[in-house]
Amino acid sequence: MGSFNNSVYSDLTRASSQDVRAAFRRGDYSGHTSGIGLGRLQANVVILPAREAADFERFCRLNTKPCPLVAMSEPGDPFLPTLGQDIDIRHDLASYNIYRDGVFDCSVSDVGSLWKEDSVTFAIGCSYTFERALVDAGIPLRHIENNRAVSMYHTSLPLQSAGPFSGTTVVSMRHIRRDQVDKAIDVSSAYPQAHGAPVHVGDPATIGIQDLSKPDWGDVDTPEEDEVPVFWACGVTPQVTVRSANLPLVITHTPGSMLITDLDEMAEVPFFTNHNNV
């Protein structure tokens, strides 16, 4: 997952969303964004050709839990003014993943040279958004305390298909004290634009995860006494679906490295609110 500089990370946890994006543009930091941009909506990103955009939008509308769509660009337009007036998606992520013909190719810090006249950007809400609310509610999050990325896993939870897009849900996992699970559910439920309440609590095998010590993305989180795994739907899900679509070129965020928007974490996002039941 990109380079990680503890000093730069510490500075970014106190920086404004605009200053965070400026640091990403300069290439100062390419690590995870958990704990950065607290109080702001964070978003997963998918960039694909315009000819596939309608199917992918439909896919998101059919699977709002893992794919709460909060913005969509016009073809060839790299800007997302509803999320931040200065956002240029070609440069404003800490790290991007490149997929060619459904296969992961590489991670890069800038995609200006890959941008096309028909490129369409999708921004999908992220569970990092509600982490400050969990901490403020007295629920410790070890990955933030240790400056690490949250654990993410493939599951067997099916998705509804649209066009070439299909697959199973990806989840993020946080170990929560047993007596705080109900509180975590209540807090995260207030953030439907960022995946909302968990999709599963307890035995990971029930949702097709065999070994929590081997996350598909992110870092390992070892449970402490009287903690249980709690699983939230994750916006990395589209990175599974693009593999099944076998498109010549798809650009996404690197898992854990999100777009930091200027929107308040509790903001009602019109794009999501108006269409999330389609």
Q: Do 157 and 190 fall into the same domain?
A: yes
Global pTM reads 0.93
Q: Do 80 and 139 fall into the same domain?
A: no
Q: Do 170 and 221 fall into the same domain?
A: yes
Q: Do 22 and 37 fall into the same domain?
A: yes
Which tokens hold the place of 83?
């999320």
At 80-108, the pLDDT tens digits run: 999 998 999 999 999 999 999 999 999 99
Q: pLDDT-based confidence at 275, cuts 50/70/90? A: low
Looking at residue 234, its pLDDT comes to 97
- Provide Rg for the chain, Cα atoms: 17
Q: Do 133 and 122 fall into the same domain?
A: no
Tally of domains within the chain:
2
With respect to residue 123, please indicate whether it lies within any of the assigned structural domains: yes
At 6-61, the pLDDT tens digits run: 889 999 999 999 999 999 999 999 999 999 998 999 999 999 999 999 999 999 99
- ∠ CA 144-181-196 to the nearest 5 degrees? 75
CATH number at residue 36: 3.40.1640.10
Q: Do 199 and 172 fall into the same domain?
A: yes
- Residue 216 sits in which domain range? 129-233
Return the half-sphere exposure (C-beta side, CA atoms, 13 A cut-off) of residue 31: 21
With respect to residue 1, please indicate whether it lies within any of the assigned structural domains: no
End-to-end CA gap in the chain: 34
At 154-198, the pLDDT tens digits run: 999 999 999 999 999 999 999 999 999 999 999 999 999 999 999
